[in-house]
A and B are shown apart, each in its own frame.
Chain A
Amino acid sequence: MMTPLVINWSHVWMVTGLGFCMVILLLVVLIFILKLLGAVVSNAVKAPKAAQPKAVAAPAAQAAPASAQASADDDLAAIAMALHLYFNGVHDVEPTEIHIKRVERSGWNSKLYGMNNLHR
């Protein structure tokens, strides 16, 4: 599989050094692009809000996070409850047995005792 060969060490070192530097360099370029992308997109999102009149923007800006927060809390509570029920087996699966007790006849419920003899 391997054949004896003369190693061109200068080329090997060049590939090692240059190759690794190029990986770093290319990914550094990507970092700048991602940062730029983040800045551009966040500016684009902020711009329409800034363009709105202040009187309208202020209550909306205050109300939106509050409602969003409330909604997020509700979601979290629902998820937490669902997980609790799931992991603890506390769910509302009813047993299929019917638990209606058979009514015993006694002096308290007997039709017989409920009737009065009519005095004639």
Chain B
Amino acid sequence: MGDILEFFEQMGFLNMTLQQGIMLLLSFFLLYLAIKKQYEPLLLLPIAFGMLLTNLPGAGMYHSELWSAFLDANSPAYHSYGTIMREGGLLDILYIGVKAGVYPCLIFMGVGAMTDFGPLIANPKSLLLGAAAQLGIFLTFLAANSMGFTEAQAGSIGIIGGADGPTSIFLTSKLAPELLGPIAIAAYSYMALVPVIQPPIMRALTTKKERAIKMSQLRPVSKTEKIIFPIAITTIVALILPDAAPLIGCLMLGNLAKECGVVDRLSKTMQNELMNIVVIFLGLTVGATATASSFLDWSTIKIMVMGVVAFGCGTAGGILLAKLMNVFSKEKINPLIGSAGVSAVPMAARVSQQVGQEENPSNFLLMHAMGPNVAGVIGSAVAAGILLTMLG
């Protein structure tokens, strides 16, 4: 009889708190969005399932208290991975990859192996649009400070404006790990909502005539240029900004493997197997950090609001700079491609193409928008490196 009672006492149903119940419902909702609505399903599905696992009472797959002790200088478990391995659950052990900043870099390697930097090399001015779109990061940093977040937390919130999931996770795991769950979910949710968030801003900031501008064809880029590009960028950026080296280095390593043509097996592995495995681990563990105690908080709502502001400011920054460039440049550029300067590859470039074709169906902006789009990836990694240097 005692055993039966003990069994019932250990049941999750009896130990569940209201907050955990709400989190489980939220995870079901995110699973619905991922499966039915297909909002970034590759990441949202593991994130939502991680959220489900971590909020199951008694399952013990993730222990936020262990990670709090890991960060507490007065605790015997301070920076002790041994304690995590000994006392942690499955998700704690997988989370070490996030904590050490390994997963985001490996994902960047895959992103590099799948990205064609040709449009950027053909039109280097695209880098300016990618830089201007980082305005959202810094304006949101300012706003988050005024809302009572610490500078480190504000920097992590601001990086949502870079529209780059791995970069957001990388920076947040270093500066404000306690906000990792809400920030990752905000970043990926808004990336999925790029086709909803950007077009109204694009239409509001441009005239019909500007949206109909046709751009001349990009010059062909030689293989030599494509091979030298990742080597040159890594060297220059890492020498100027060493904190950006892990992200930029991995991005460019992946790209070099793709472009050099002699390591096809490595390139394919980076693009497929490695990328997919890391996405599963990253999604699950980031979802696991969204425990009821850390997620159901006013700061989560503030982060969600500021995430939209960051996206909007980034989009506006790119478009406004494109308009400014048109004032000084002989060869006109369509300001719609400026909005692609927020990373979100290739979704943001597709949105530029769609909005451009609404005005002029014979206008093809996709390849032109890919330049600022991949420039945005470099720009957000650089911005993360700068924030890490200044606030870390």
Q: Which residues of A approach B to under 8 Å, CB–CB?
A: 1-5, 7-9, 11-13, 15-16, 18-20, 22-24, 26-31, 33-35, 37-38, 41-42, 44-45
17 A-B residue pairings within 8 Å (CB atoms): A2-B148, A2-B150, A2-B153, A3-B150, A15-B155, A23-B382, A27-B130, A27-B131, A28-B131, A30-B124, A30-B236, A30-B237, A31-B125, A33-B232, A37-B232, A41-B224, A45-B222
* Contact stretch, chosen from B104-112, B133-141, B198-206: B133-141
Q: Report the nearest A residue to B146, measured CB to CB.
A: A7
B391 interface hit (Cβ, 8 Å): yes
Chain A residues near B135 (CB-CB < 8 A): 20
7 further A-B contacts with Cβ under 8 Å, apart from A15-B391, A33-B232, are: A1-B294, A1-B297, A12-B142, A15-B390, A28-B127, A30-B124, A30-B127
B28 interface hit (Cβ, 8 Å): no
Contact in complex: B138, A24 (CB < 8 Å) = no
**A15-B151, A19-B386, A23-B382 known; A29+B236 contact, CB < 8 A:** yes
Give A95 to B130 CA distance when docked, in angstroms.
Answer: 54
Q: Mark B281-298, 1 if CB is under 8 A from A, else 0.
A: 000000000000010010
Chain A CB within 10 Å — which of B120, B131, B139, B229 has the most?
A: B131
Chain B CB within 10 Å — which of A8, A37, A44 has the most?
A: A37
Q: Report the nearest A residue to B145, measured CB to CB.
A: A12
B358 interface hit (Cβ, 8 Å): no
Chain B residues near A29 (CB-CB < 8 A): 236, 240
Contact in complex: B127, A27 (CB < 8 Å) = yes
Contact in complex: B391, A38 (CB < 8 Å) = no
Chain B residues near A28 (CB-CB < 8 A): 127-128, 131
Q: Report the nearest A residue to B133, measured CB to CB.
A: A23
Contact in complex: A19, B124 (CB < 8 Å) = no
Give A115 to B38 CA distance when docked, in angstroms.
Answer: 78
Give A71 to B166 CA distance when docked, in angstroms.
Answer: 42
Contact in complex: B236, A33 (CB < 8 Å) = yes
Contact in complex: B128, A23 (CB < 8 Å) = no
Classify the secondary structure of A's interface with B: helix
B228 interface hit (Cβ, 8 Å): yes
B225 interface hit (Cβ, 8 Å): yes
Give A45 to B178 CA distance when docked, in angstroms.
Answer: 53
Contact in complex: B124, A34 (CB < 8 Å) = yes
Chain A residues near B154 (CB-CB < 8 A): 12
7 closest A-B pairs (Cβ-Cβ)? A34-B124, A27-B131, A27-B127, A31-B124, A20-B138, A16-B138, A24-B131
**A7-B146, A19-B383 known; A1+B178 contact, CB < 8 A:** yes
Contact in complex: B229, A37 (CB < 8 Å) = yes
Instruction: Kindly provide the distance from the CB of A44 to the nearest chain B CB, expressed in whole angstroms.
Output: 8
Residue total for B at the interface (Cβ-Cβ under 8 A): 49
Q: Mark B53-65, 1 if CB is under 8 A from A, else 0.
A: 0000000000000
Instruction: Kindly provide the distance from the CB of A110 to the nearest chain B CB, expressed in whole angstroms.
Output: 67
Contact in complex: B386, A22 (CB < 8 Å) = yes
> Which residues of B, 337-389, contact A by the 8 Å Cβ criterion?
375, 378-379, 382-383, 386-387
B121 interface hit (Cβ, 8 Å): yes
Contact in complex: B134, A20 (CB < 8 Å) = yes
Q: Mark B200-241, 1 if CB is under 8 A from A, else 0.
A: 000000000000000000000010110011001100110011
Instruction: Kindly provide the distance from the CB of A4 to the nearest chain B CB, expressed in whole angstroms.
Output: 7
Contact in complex: B151, A23 (CB < 8 Å) = no
Q: Report the nearest B residue to A19, measured CB to CB.
A: B386
Instruction: Kindly provide the distance from the CB of A119 to the nearest chain B CB, expressed in whole angstroms.
Output: 85
B32 interface hit (Cβ, 8 Å): no
Chain A residues near B70 (CB-CB < 8 A): none
Chain B CB within 10 Å — which of A5, A34, A35 has the most?
A: A34
Instruction: Kindly provide the distance from the CB of A47 to the nearest chain B CB, expressed in whole angstroms.
Output: 13
User: Out of B124, B148, B225, which one reaches A41, CB within 8 Å?
Assistant: B225
Chain A residues near B237 (CB-CB < 8 A): 26, 30
Contact in complex: B386, A31 (CB < 8 Å) = no
Chain A CB within 10 Å — which of B139, B142, B155, B299 has the most?
A: B142
Contact in complex: A37, B225 (CB < 8 Å) = yes
B78 interface hit (Cβ, 8 Å): no
Give A22 to B134 CA distance when docked, in angstroms.
Answer: 11
